Structure 1
Amino acid sequence: MSIKKSILIRVRLVFLFVCLFACAIVYKIVHIQFLDGDKWKSISKERRIFYKPVHATRGNILSDNESILATSLPFYRVAFDPTVTKAEVFNSGIDSLAMLLSKFYGDKSEDYYRRKIKNARHSGRRYIRLNSRQINYQDKKLMSRWPIFREGKNRGGVIFEKVEKRFKPFGILAERTIGFINEDKNGAGLEYSYNGHLSGTDGEALFERIAGGSKPIYDGTEVNPQHGYDIKTTLDINLQDVAENALYKALEKTDAEYGTVILMEVKTGEIKAMANLGKTKGGYIEDYNYAVGNQGRTEPGSTFKLASMMALFEHAPEVKLTDTIDTGDGRYRIKNTIMTDAKINGYGKLTVQQVFEKSSNIGVAKLMEQYFGNEQQAYVDYLNKFGLNSTLGFQMDGEARPYMKDPQDKNWYGTTLTSMSIGYEMKLSPLQTLAFYNAVANNGVKIQPIIVKEIRKVDEVVQSFQTRVLVEKICSDETLKKLKTMLEGVVEHGTAKNILSADYKIAGKTGTARKVKNGRYVREYSTSFAGYFPADNPKYSCIVIIDSPRGVNVYGGDVAAPVFKELADKAYARDLAMHKPMHARVVPDKESLPVVQAGSFDDLKMIYNSIGISTHTGNVEEDWVKVEPKRRSLEFKSNPVLQNKVPDVIGMTLRDALYILGNQHLNVKVEGAGKHVKSQSLEPGTDINEDKTITIILS
């Protein structure tokens, strides 16, 4: 066979193979397209259609009088499906729509929006986000009336994607206590600790994957979300404000590193204020919860002497306050260390009460050596009996665990007993120290502090919290009597006499503990004052910690005690229960009706009808109304919310007011406390300028 013939045969075979392969491809295409077409279309649709969660509205965090501390306000992103609109509607409205979008957002030209929408329609894209900027509810209502958009989501293609933002009406007040939670479910404070209640249960809806994203399909199978519960706290907004301001001034004055203040009701354990401020380059902010967490767990210093004296009186009840002890010249050798007192050349001979009032380290150490030198385990056993070695089971995550040594530990030294007795070689958080002082004020009953009082679903209480007793009787009545006398003496004659009040009695103890850096004690201090007031009938207990103050006077009595006094003065002035009662005859108004002055028309009408109060709606067509009494009924008057005009929110609840004012792009400042708006700083109906601030007063 010739070479030419051989090559020709090979070419023909290759050509035949290529033809057969091409026929096979055509056959497969025809088979997939026509014979198996329905099958593959079904699979494609299944993969394109999916369920997506619909997030629930997060619950509110409320103060003790139900003022809103944190709430969620709705905002929207605007997306568009340009393929669903009929040609005549699209062509007649696209120019006007592009002009309105350009004017509203103010970032791109009219031609940009026209090209973007037309290109998407031409290429068959079923989802485009028109702008990343979020809009409020009033803007949403406005856009819903624009050309094309007015046809709705099914025929007009407009998609308003709801986004909720967390808003705190009182700004940074109690910011760390309220806390936060991020997208990764990490956070702090009440937002994090009660996230399971606040977040609610997400629903789900059917979405379709399309070029550029996904769009919802409303086919009736969607599951509505169950909105989060509200959390009612024990915090008092006014006392919280006083605590933060007093603490801030003290920190600035002393250039300290951080500070914390806790104010608690003696009988109930309810925390009325919890302030935490840490130093930053820009000043002091709530950067960490020093009152509860590990960073605030420190050696308490002289405030711990109360526990040592309690152990002493329980162990040796024969010890009297008038018994004397020689503290010498202010220097006392214990093993291989020297203990000193604050006064140069020492205090000399002191009574037991004076040892406590003047906070003599040597006096306390000598008493501990005398009565516990051979029974060191007994001393620690008393501390454990007082509950000082256990956590409080506080309602917020992150409570520090107390650190308390035991004679069986390897690091228990010959000086540990005397060091512990004056507040060293152990660690407590401020809240744990306060709970101990509160037990003395509460006649020996140690209770668990609480900061959350109720969990609510609207107005229905789902769960309520009462403080529980941690130690039924922390010590004997005889011991309590001695301790209270000493605590009052500290303010009357001792290290805190600078906060003596002519109006009410204060009982407490100062503390000044040296800090440890690189394993050595340095000339930096953690200063404190813990106590309660009024001393003869305690209503509140309080602790103040100011860490690393700078200046000449850096002792607890000079730095921390004045903060306690300022807060105590304000609390006493506003709490009439601590004053002598004034009797007055109050005549009830039997003709009064339960009237909310303003709010949502639908909500108010439903409420009044459900409780049987007659209402007159007239020709009300607005979403928001005013309510006026009319004989034995109520009359609704329109209260329109106009674009770029200051709305009238007087008489509304705080949440309604925040919702409306936020939608009008106003910066809102809230003052006072209460459920309703008493007055507003901007006149209703006036024009809204850029970055305008409105102040609303609550009653």
Structure 2
Amino acid sequence: MRIQYFDGAKWKEISKERRIYYRPVFATRGNIYSDNESILATSLPFYRIAFDPSVVDAQKFNAGADSLAYLLSRFYKDRSEDYYRRKIRNARHAGRRYVRLNSKLVNYQEKKIMAKWPIFREGKNKGGVIFEKVEKRFKPFGLLAERTIGFINEDKNGAGLEFSFNDNLAGTNGEALFERIAGGSKPIYDGTELKPQHGYDIKTTIDINLQDVAENALYKALEKTNAEYGCVIMMEVKTGEIKAIVNLGKTKGGYIEDYNYAVGNQGRTEPGSTFKLASMMALFEHDSSISLNDTVDTGNGSYRIKNTIMSDAKTGGYGKLSVQQIFEKSSNIGVAKLMEQYFGNDQQAYINYLHKFGLANTLGFQMDGEARPFIKSTQDRTWYGTTLTSMAIGYETKFSPLQTLALYNAVANNGVKIQPIIVKEIRKADEVIQSFKTRVLNEKVCSDETLKKLRIMLEGVVENGTAKNIRSTDYKVAGKTGTARKVKNGKYVREYSTSFAGYFPADKPKYSAIVIIDSPKGVNVYGGDVAAPVFKELADKAFARDLAMHKPLLARMVPNKDSLPQVKAGSFDDITLICNKIGISTHPKGEEEEWVKAKPERRALNLEPNPVPNGRVPDVTGMNLRDALFILGNQRLQVQVQGAGGRVQTQSLEPGTVISKNQKIIIVLS
């Protein structure tokens, strides 16, 4: 009695204070964009539907309750109309101010529809409807670059860009007053709430088209060879911008992006023969008089070093080889003999060169989890009489694929070693908060004389050596294959990590790339057979869509004024440029248009306008793939390509057809 009558006000106030509390209002997470500002990850609003039946006028409640129950049952399709009728009527009868109608989330469009239902249409204050906003991360391109985009969980643990840039993406939460009531909590809008500061967006360097090509090419190779995992990295030589990065690991259902092998510790392995580039760099820097024509007798393919036998891939051996051929054929014995000759009496000098090249240091990559390179010292207890020659061919040392690629990119970049980057900007709407550019890690990894020799050797691998199966007639590739035996239970076994690292076009490098395929099964499990074809598929697609890489080809064309070029349609500027280079006259007909059709007349080409009407299907027959994709993409058409090369022979939609939303078009290349 005393508590009720004398201390009642006191305890009511305490009870009220305990019912009222502040709860965070979560900020909207920032978006992640590709290089052309396509959305790679965004937060979409979803809603849970709750109900406060106590605020609804009795007449309106009785008039609308049955209809509301019917609509809820029909919408959620999980409970009967009678179930929802009892739920909302019992809640009102019990005086409950909060009841969650269903735990399933609805999207914004569904929310708009539900807001027009009986009772709900009266709004929050009179209709009692409570739409509790819940944001879910959505990736418009599905699994594309999934591990690179990454995730972050409720404990703030995660991976990829979501984790590495969480401080920027997350924003700052606000807070608002909530009241604890039967069945949950209800927000109180009294003007004291603190609005959240939404997260910043990040713009990456990823090219979604090259990313898609890389993923498809790697997936096919992994399936074909039943490999354990694989990764691909492609970057621009001058800028260090990563245009594609793929990581696929084996599961029961196929291959998924389960770990960042390209950057992290699980992908840090003995590189094998791709590391011979560093060894040859050290040799040339140590003694500039070494010529590519100098010879080494590699014997019958078997060579004893201390208490171990080193062998070459070819049964019976290669015999006498030049330095150039040692690299092209990836002769272990040839490299080992050169190392013994020039570093046998000063093995630490070789290690010093590796440090000078920056190979012992991390790259300071923008994403968390970069593996630390491992290079032995001559003072190491595990340094044996065979360590020098073993390291020289890519064993007893460990690097991530990205770290190996950085060295190859330095050779392509005239000796300047730069830091790879994957994020270009942090932005708030259109305002750039912070921008990123690559920084120079090593002004000059080696001399120009050494660079010249290395680039000749790398081109030779593709022209005459272990990767001649990917030689292209359209452009030159420079690179090196790698096939490293795996270690299990402390012993080398007959399983391999295969690789190919290089750059293209070799004469004017635009892109560098590395492909790793781990533990492939089958007969041909060398880097040239397994990893190099993936590199070629990616390089071919990149070359086909980059007109800037085509122009150097024009200078190599031999003029033939007695025949006309096989030009049918394309850009006015490109066609006139080609014709001017080879001495063919062009005659524009009618008003000058950006896109034209070429028709031969005697020893000249008439260029007739080929306009691109907005909202209608353009005519792309006769065009090369790059021009066709550019025009059709700008018209918002979804393009499917059939055929491996050449020009567009046919298109599935007639020119002039009105374009509908999400319409597809098939183009066939001749």
- With the shorter chain as reference, the TM-score category is 0.7 to 0.9
What is the 5 A alignment of 1:131-170?
Answer: 131-170=102-141
Q: Secondary structure at the match of 1:83?
A: helix
Distance 2:632 2:446 in 1: 41
CA offset digits 1:195-243 (Å, max 9, x no partner): 1111111111111001111011111221221111111110111111111
Distance 2:2 2:418 in 1: 83
What is the 5 A alignment of 1:155-304?
Answer: 155-304=126-275
State the Cα distance separating 1:562 from its structure 2 match. Answer: 0.8
State the Cα distance separating 1:588 from its structure 2 match. Answer: 10
620, 636, 642: which one aligns with 1:678: 636
Q: Secondary structure at the match of 2:53?
A: coil
State the Cα distance separating 1:429 from its structure 2 match. Answer: 0.4
What is the 5 A alignment of 1:247-396?
Answer: 247-396=218-367
State the Cα distance separating 1:696 from its structure 2 match. Answer: 6.4
Q: Indicate the percent of aligned positions where both proteins have the same amino acid.
A: 78
Distance 2:393 2:632 in 1: 45
1:406 aligns with 2:364: no
Q: Secondary structure at the match of 1:99?
A: helix
The aligned counterpart of 2:6 is 31
CA offset digits 1:572-625 (Å, max 9, x no partner): 111001011737599999xxxxxxxxxxxxxxxxxxxxxxxxxxxxxxxxxxxx
Q: 1:461 to 1:261 in 2, by over 3 A?
A: same
The answer to whether the 8 Å contact 1:197/1:229 transfers is: yes
What is the 5 A alignment of 1:60-79?
Answer: 60-79=31-50
Q: Letter of the 1:294 partner, please give it.
A: N
Distance 2:418 2:637 in 1: 41
Distance 1:249 1:28 in 2: 77
The answer to whether the 8 Å contact 2:636/2:662 transfers is: no
Distance 1:518 1:103 in 2: 60
Distance 2:385 2:71 in 1: 82
CA offset digits 1:39-80 (Å, max 9, x no partner): 322222111111111111111111111111111111111001
Q: 1:480 to 1:313 in 2, by over 3 A?
A: same
Q: Letter of the 1:272 partner, please give it.
A: K
State the Cα distance separating 1:673 from its structure 2 match. Answer: 12
The answer to whether the 8 Å contact 2:225/2:521 transfers is: yes
State the Cα distance separating 1:182 from its structure 2 match. Answer: 1.7
State the Cα distance separating 1:679 from its structure 2 match. Answer: 4.4
The answer to whether the 8 Å contact 1:449/1:467 transfers is: yes
What's the RMSD between the two structures over aligned residues?
2.4
State the Cα distance separating 1:92 from its structure 2 match. Answer: 2.2
The aligned counterpart of 1:614 is none
Q: Secondary structure at the match of 2:486?
A: strand
CA offset digits 1:244-266 (Å, max 9, x no partner): 11111111111111111111100
State the Cα distance separating 1:88 from its structure 2 match. Answer: 2.2
1:97 aligns with 2:68: yes
The aligned counterpart of 2:18 is 47
Q: Secondary structure at the match of 1:197?
A: helix
Q: Letter of the 2:107 partner, please give it.
A: N
85, 88, 93: which one aligns with 1:114: 85
Q: 1:349 to 1:519 in 2, by over 3 A?
A: same
Q: Letter of the 1:126 partner, please give it.
A: R
1:435 aligns with 2:393: no
Q: Letter of the 1:678 partner, please give it.
A: R
The aligned counterpart of 1:457 is 428
The aligned counterpart of 1:20 is none
The aligned counterpart of 1:559 is 530
The answer to whether the 8 Å contact 2:27/2:198 transfers is: yes
Distance 2:631 2:175 in 1: 38
Distance 2:313 2:113 in 1: 71
Q: Letter of the 1:153 partner, please give it.
A: K
Q: 1:674 to 1:238 in 2, by over 3 A?
A: farther
What is the 5 A alignment of 1:503-582?
Answer: 503-580=474-551, 582=574
State the Cα distance separating 1:450 from its structure 2 match. Answer: 0.4
Q: Letter of the 2:290 partner, please give it.
A: V
CA offset digits 1:371-400 (Å, max 9, x no partner): 111111110010001111111000111111
Q: Secondary structure at the match of 2:83?
A: helix
Distance 1:302 1:430 in 2: 13
444, 458, 461: which one aligns with 1:490: 461
Distance 2:58 2:457 in 1: 89
Q: Letter of the 2:187 partner, please give it.
A: P
1:419 aligns with 2:390: yes
Q: Letter of the 1:555 partner, please give it.
A: Y
The aligned counterpart of 2:596 is none
- Which structure has the bigger radius of gyration? 1
4+ residue runs of structure 1 moved beyond 6 angstroms? 585-589, 671-677
Distance 1:578 1:73 in 2: 40
Q: 1:493 to 1:564 in 2, by over 3 A?
A: same
Q: Secondary structure at the match of 2:65?
A: helix
Unmatched 5+ stretches in structure 1: 1-25, 590-628, 630-647, 651-670, 682-693
State the Cα distance separating 1:675 from its structure 2 match. Answer: 9.6
Q: Secondary structure at the match of 1:417?
A: helix
Distance 1:368 1:28 in 2: 93
State the Cα distance separating 1:676 from its structure 2 match. Answer: 7.7
Q: Letter of the 1:230 partner, please give it.
A: D
Q: Secondary structure at the match of 1:400?
A: coil
Q: Letter of the 1:305 partner, please give it.
A: K
State the Cα distance separating 1:424 from its structure 2 match. Answer: 0.1
Q: 1:27 to 1:518 in 2, by over 3 A?
A: closer
Distance 1:527 1:289 in 2: 17
Q: Letter of the 1:112 partner, please give it.
A: Y
Q: 1:573 to 1:466 in 2, by over 3 A?
A: same
Q: Secondary structure at the match of 2:179?
A: strand
State the Cα distance separating 1:106 from its structure 2 match. Answer: 2.1
The answer to whether the 8 Å contact 1:56/1:199 transfers is: yes
Q: 1:565 to 1:228 in 2, by over 3 A?
A: same
Distance 1:167 1:288 in 2: 20
